[in-house]
Structure 1
Amino acid sequence: MTTNDINQKINEVIAEMKLVYKNDSRPWIIGYSGGKDSTVVVQLAFQMLESLSPEERHKPIYVVSSDTLIENPIVLGYLNEASKLINEGAKAKGLPLYAEMVHPDYDNTFWTNIIGKGLPTPTSIRFRWCTERLKIKPSNTFIEEKVKENGEVIVLLGVRKAESIARKIRIENRAIDGYLLTPHGSLQNTYVYNPIVDYTTDDVWRTLLSNNGVTPWGGNNNELFALYAGSDAGECPFTITKNAKGEVDSPSCGNSRFGCWICTVVKEDKSLTGFIKNGEEWLMPLLEFRSWLLSIRDKHEYRQQYRRDGNHYYKRLYLEDLPMIDELTLNKSYIFKDTETNKEYIDLRNTSEDLESGSRESTDKEKIFLELLPLSSNYKLDETKIFDKDSKPYVNVVGYGPFNFFGRKEILRKLLETQVIMSEYIDFPLITIEELEQIDKIWDDEEDLTRRSLVDIYYEVIGEKLPWHDFKKPIFDSETLGTISELNKQFNLSDHLINKLLIETNKSKHFTNKTVLDKSISKVLNQRYLHKSIVEEIENDN
């Protein structure tokens, strides 16, 4: 394609954008990730506005970026600078174009959910809770606010048929023949316009690098080209819709250069490793922390055996996958004691002889702790809890819930230690003060009798006090806390349960009406996991 050809294509798209822009008063919202496709859309919209007279520029265009608060620091730095230049350039030329940044609510961020609430790290499309909370909700909230102000809005996206066959099919399925705008998949009074839908990848780069790469707002797209060079490229969409089944209609961003630095959905992080291979070795601490976080996800000592609502659940484990010496008895050669928890587990991969001969160490997913199995006596399965005996017998194994309090504290400590290392290279907080404040509230409300765990960890690692450090008072003095801990050990009581009961009691200590306290205590004591054997009896009878 010659220079004249790409200029003609640019002019054709700008002419179409003029028609759409001038047709009504609905504001435009451009999803800007800082990647190549969304940059092209912003650049063409900017040029379109420049070509109009001041009177014709009758409605605003919002260039909106989404900061998940766990963005790759290099990409976030580039995005912030680009947004600043876009604002300055538009203002200098009198254009109604405004670059804005959205982020998740601080009580619903990645770290607030993991460190505060203990949610397990996302691992697959089926358990990718991060996309909804960190990207979809913040961007959709911005769109919904503009809908309330204006009645309807038009969202411009940099999606292209040439990106993949699957995307081409999705775009064509959504298209209404003869119309440039299509209804948004999930937002009311919102329409989608894809101005570069027929662009090829070559068209994108030729547009970006025309005029020597200089953007209409004074930036330089050669920097963007450098970000993409020599690595798997891609970008996370600004707004991600859901299909009719409620499924996220977008691939994971984890394997792209524009994904989150802590993404745990993919096994190999091509974003971080790509930058490191290209000379950005200072990012190595982030990669090491990510690997550590992945490594503890399925470790017994880091997880609860029930969900946050107190319910427990089961995973099916077929007897043919268990090491047995007879119909009911487990093979002791596969049973070991965990040095961290001092609890016994079945190693589904190795026997004692295998380990002695140097076989590889099993993963945590290949270890089944005996306390999660239905046992009737020493290493014998409870025959009454074996199901489907005639065809493919199995037992139900208690599944893991969220990270326990020990795990959450360890993750926070390790994250802050990584932040200290990173501070030698860049001023880039890995977790914000606002998130720490939200996490502290969650810990106080659910688990932390001392009420000082978070502020003390922060002070120990960072060497500075949080703004509320000196205002944190424990529920009990240190001697009483020690006595509670010893009694829990003596009577084999759950620290989590006793702490929760004491915290609920403390909340209502000044109330003369004890109804609230009675209800909260009843709720804690009636959690399903505390009555597992009774629940199983009832379910089995049914």
Structure 2
Amino acid sequence: MKTSQSNLFEGISRRLQMTESFELSWQSLNAYGPRYNYWCVAWSGGKDSTTLVTFIIWSIMSGKIKAPKKIFILYADTRLELTPLFYAAQKIMEELAEHGYNVEVVMAPMENRFLCYILGRGVPPPNNATFRWCTSRIKIEPMEVKLKGLVGELGEKVLMLTGVRQGESAIRDQRIIMSCSKNGAECGQGWYQETLPESLCDTLAPILHWRVCHVWEWLKHWAPLPEYGDFSTELIADAYGGDEAEELNARTGCMGCPLTDKDTALDNLLKKTKWEYLAPLKRLRPIYRELRKPQNRLRKTGLEVNNEKNKQRMGPITMAARDWAFNGILAIQNEINAVADKIGMPTVYLLNNEEQIFIRKCWSENLWPNKWTGEEPTGDTPMDTVYADGSVQPLLFGK
């Protein structure tokens, strides 16, 4: 009788199969879930968090894990998601409601929304070097406020479930490795971070060990089946490259994200014929770049009475530049929606009516960031150099 020879490295090198990934997720949820009466799921609409949401709900429905007293699904709406992701999220919300699970939409207050903050208050678009304010303003802070209110009402800590996975980000992976190695914890069992008793939540990442191919297999082939929840998850693939989404292994971000050198996700999306009408979105990043130029921003003279080291720092966007960008963004929106209405595709609202009214109100009230009046010169105005110690070097050739 033929016998198979064991491989010395099999336990190390063998990759998890789909059903094994399921099993490990159930083990972590069944191990830590019962310690909490309430669970929260942080849902961004991307591939990993959508996998998490739909997998957990199906696991509860199929009896694989025991449901808590209540599960709160919190959808982070940044107002900047790629159209297929936003459209898919709306469909999945409806399907979750049919299963008896309502989704709470978490959104930044009007004054902190991305375009309102830029065009209304005049704060320059974020950049990676010195001024990356967007993620905290439009995603982290609103979710924290929501969580604080929720925990305050419940009177106890909740278990926050996240879609963090190994391999998504090298920086994030390092944090995962450090956390998982604590007390000999195993990454495959899910990332469990127990926080201080007075904090809002403890965190568990049930799909930490899932390979990216398992995520796509779930979204494209399993979750859409009636026996696995009948979710519209296959729509998400378009935002990551369509049929080639898994091979591209792309990441998505905000529409026209000013923090990246290329609109990779949008470029992949526009290769699909049905989404070609979104091509005007490519004009967003040039608008953001233009707003950061000196001629479109104010600048301190350096002669003001203050203790700032950077005496002549660049500051907010001029009113004229805000108006120019506002009209340019509305033109993009109108151009897209005119075609969308003709071909029966989802419309895009970069600035809805409420946000437009808010921005115009900011202008009428002459709103500027703190410590700015609007009377400062523009950044391209020639002026004497003022150093941190207050000394002045006059212009070589005069003003």
TM-score, with structure 2 as normaliser: 0.75
Q: CA deviation at 1:440?
A: 2.9
Aligned pair partner of 1:17 in 29, 54, 63 = 29
Aligned pair partner of 2:165 in 141, 160, 164 = 160
Q: CA deviation at 1:533?
A: 8.2
Q: CA deviation at 1:147?
A: 1.4
The answer as to whether partners of 1:120 and 1:297 remain within 8 angstroms in 2 is yes
Amino acid at match of 1:268: K
Aligned pair partner of 2:280 in 253, 261, 285 = 285
Amino acid at match of 1:24: Y
Aligned pair partner of 2:137 in 133, 139, 143 = 133
Is the partner of 2:349 in helix, strand or coil? coil
Q: Which residue of 2 aligns with 1:325?
A: none
Gaps (5+ residues) in structure 2?
Answer: 1-13, 186-190, 341-346, 377-382, 393-399
Q: Which residue of 1 aligns with 2:175?
A: 170
1:404 corresponds to 2:399: no
Alpha carbons of structure 1 residues 164 and 422: separation in structure 2 relative to 1, 3 Å: closer
Q: Which residue of 2 aligns with 1:415?
A: 329
Cα distance in 2 for partners of 1:435, 1:303 equals: 22
Cα distance in 1 for partners of 2:164, 2:192 equals: 13
Cα distance in 1 for partners of 2:326, 2:388 equals: 40
Aligned pair partner of 2:266 in 263, 272, 294 = 272
Cα distance in 2 for partners of 1:189, 1:34 equals: 23
Aligned pair partner of 2:363 in 414, 436, 443 = 443
More deviation, 147-156/429-438: 429-438
Aligned pair partner of 2:42 in 28, 31, 44 = 31
Amino acid at match of 2:153: E
Cα distance in 2 for partners of 1:231, 1:432 equals: 32
Amino acid at match of 2:354: E
Q: CA deviation at 1:45?
A: 1.2
Alpha carbons of structure 1 residues 496 and 177: separation in structure 2 relative to 1, 3 Å: closer
Alpha carbons of structure 1 residues 496 and 194: separation in structure 2 relative to 1, 3 Å: closer
Note the alpha carbon deviations across 1:94-151, whole angstroms, 9 max, x for none: xxx3322211100111112111111111121531111110111111122112211222
Cα distance in 2 for partners of 1:57, 1:8 equals: 21
Note the alpha carbon deviations across 1:199-227, whole angstroms, 9 max, x for none: 22223233444548426332243333344
Cα distance in 2 for partners of 1:436, 1:189 equals: 35
1:64 corresponds to 2:79: no
What pairs up with 1:138-287 in 2 under 5 angstroms? 138-150=142-154, 151-175=156-180, 176-177=182-183, 181-183=192-194, 188-211=199-222, 213-214=224-225, 216-229=228-241, 258-279=252-273, 280-287=275-282
Amino acid at match of 2:234: N
Q: CA deviation at 1:182?
A: 0.8
Alpha carbons of structure 1 residues 85 and 232: separation in structure 2 relative to 1, 3 Å: same
Cα distance in 2 for partners of 1:221, 1:166 equals: 28
Is the partner of 2:203 in helix, strand or coil? strand
What pairs up with 1:326-405 in 2 under 5 angstroms? 398-405=312-319
Q: CA deviation at 1:191?
A: 0.7
Alpha carbons of structure 1 residues 297 and 191: separation in structure 2 relative to 1, 3 Å: same
Aligned pair partner of 2:292 in 279, 294, 297 = 297
What pairs up with 1:34-53 in 2 under 5 angstroms? 34-52=45-63
Cα distance in 2 for partners of 1:424, 1:157 equals: 38
Cα distance in 1 for partners of 2:307, 2:315 equals: 8
Gaps (5+ residues) in structure 1?
Answer: 92-96, 235-254, 316-395, 449-494, 498-523, 525-531
Note the alpha carbon deviations across 1:156-211, whole angstroms, 9 max, x for none: 111122334433321122344266631469x9231100111122222323344454
Is the partner of 1:192 in helix, strand or coil? strand
Cα distance in 1 for partners of 2:338, 2:388 equals: 58
The answer as to whether partners of 1:30 and 1:156 remain within 8 angstroms in 2 is yes
Amino acid at match of 2:326: L
Cα distance in 1 for partners of 2:320, 2:365 equals: 16
Q: CA deviation at 1:429?
A: 2.0
Cα distance in 2 for partners of 1:439, 1:31 equals: 29
The answer as to whether partners of 1:257 and 1:274 remain within 8 angstroms in 2 is no
Amino acid at match of 2:80: I
1:74 corresponds to 2:78: no
Cα distance in 2 for partners of 1:410, 1:144 equals: 39
What pairs up with 1:370-519 in 2 under 5 angstroms? 398-426=312-340, 427-446=347-366, 496-497=374-375
Note the alpha carbon deviations across 1:362-402, whole angstroms, 9 max, x for none: xxxxxxxxxxxxxxxxxxxxxxxxxxxxxxxxxx8x44211
Q: CA deviation at 1:312?
A: 10
The answer as to whether partners of 1:119 and 1:402 remain within 8 angstroms in 2 is yes
- The structure whose RCO (Cα within 8 Å, separation 6+) is larger is 2
What pairs up with 1:86-105 in 2 under 5 angstroms? 86-88=96-98, 90-91=99-100, 97-105=101-109
Note the alpha carbon deviations across 1:290-321, whole angstroms, 9 max, x for none: 32332342141x111139xx879787xxxxxx
Is the partner of 1:401 in helix, strand or coil? strand
Is the partner of 1:285 in helix, strand or coil? helix
Amino acid at match of 2:268: G
Cα distance in 2 for partners of 1:263, 1:119 equals: 16
Amino acid at match of 2:94: K
Alpha carbons of structure 1 residues 182 and 276: separation in structure 2 relative to 1, 3 Å: same
Amino acid at match of 2:257: C
The answer as to whether partners of 1:231 and 1:274 remain within 8 angstroms in 2 is no
Amino acid at match of 1:446: N
Cα distance in 1 for partners of 2:290, 2:223 equals: 46
More deviation, 405-414/290-299: 290-299
Alpha carbons of structure 1 residues 438 and 71: separation in structure 2 relative to 1, 3 Å: same
Is the partner of 1:446 in helix, strand or coil? coil
Q: CA deviation at 1:534?
A: 12
Supply the RMSD in Å over aligned alpha carbons: 3.7
The answer as to whether partners of 1:83 and 1:100 remain within 8 angstroms in 2 is no
Aligned residues: 348
Is the partner of 1:47 in helix, strand or coil? helix
Alpha carbons of structure 1 residues 416 and 223: separation in structure 2 relative to 1, 3 Å: closer
The answer as to whether partners of 2:92 and 2:232 remain within 8 angstroms in 1 is no
The answer as to whether partners of 2:88 and 2:232 remain within 8 angstroms in 1 is no
